[in-house]
């Protein structure tokens, strides 16, 4: 008997912030009138995210001169197994003579700032995507690795806001989040399921 996939939070076709920003680059055209183009790269939690775009959060001229953007995309309509992050990117052109001195691009879990234009900045390294964690034992934060065990996943290596479900626990709430990893454990703390909602 085949179990049907769990509906994700995206079946309303709504865009969500991608999981993480990996880099932001602002390029300036070589000839006047000059045009600045913002290129943001990031990681989606799973495959199947579509239509990535940069959405401005700034209205008018900000006091600090920084343009605030968020990288969003449409997630898959059903929950996805944790098989690895998927790269996404989007561009955003700035009109000639814009008032911005820098750019800050946000995601669901981080932001990357380029303080002067043109310029480039990278985000910090990412957490484990849990693509190979099914079948391994979860070691809680602050605990030592069991002697002689190499097939472990440390809780602090998992993405932020990971939901860990033990066999005796329920899962309150029905709101899905495509940027939340849900890890289900068996009685021996072995990971039996890892899905992005």
Residue range 110-149, pLDDT digits in tens: 999 999 999 999 998 877 788 899 999 999 888 887 777 7
Domain residue spans in the chain? 16-122, 137-196
State percent of the chain over pLDDT 90: 63
Confidence check: pLDDT of 57 > 80: yes
> 2 pLDDT band (50/70/90 cuts)?
very low
CB-based contact 74:53 (threshold 8 Å): no
Residue range 62-81, pLDDT digits in tens: 999 999 999 999 999 888 88
| Calpha distance 197→195 (Å, rounded) | 6
CATH of 137-196, one of 1.20.120, 3.30.10, 2.20.25, 1.10.3470: 3.30.10
Residue range 160-196, pLDDT digits in tens: 789 999 999 888 776 788 999 999 999 999 999 999 9
Write down the pLDDT at residue 125. Answer: 81
Confidence check: pLDDT of 4 > 60: no
């Amino acid at each position: 008997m085949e179990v049907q996939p769990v509906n994700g939070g995206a079946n309303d076709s709504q865009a969500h912030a991608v999981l993480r920003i990996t880099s932001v680059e602002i390029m300036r055209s070589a000839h006047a009138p000059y045009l600045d183009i913002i290129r943001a790269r990031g990681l989606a939690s799973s495959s199947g995210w579509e239509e990535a775009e940069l959405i401005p959060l700034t209205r008018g001229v900000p006091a600090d001169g920084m343009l605030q953007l968020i990288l969003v995309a449409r997630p898959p309509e059903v929950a996805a197994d944790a098989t690895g992050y998927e790269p996404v990117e989007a561009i955003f052109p700035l009109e000639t003579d814009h008032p911005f001195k820098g750019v800050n691009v946000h995601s669901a879990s981080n932001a990357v700032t380029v303080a002067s234009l043109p310029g480039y900045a990278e985000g910090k390294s990412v957490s484990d995507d849990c693509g190979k964690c099914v079948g391994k034992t979860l070691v809680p934060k602050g605990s030592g690795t069991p002697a002689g065990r190499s097939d472990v996943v440390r809780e602090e290596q998992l993405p932020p806001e990971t939901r860990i479900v033990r066999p005796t626990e329920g899962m309150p709430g029905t709101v899905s989040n495509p940027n939340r990893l849900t890890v289900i454990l068996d009685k021996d703390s072995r990971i039996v399921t890892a899905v992005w909602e």
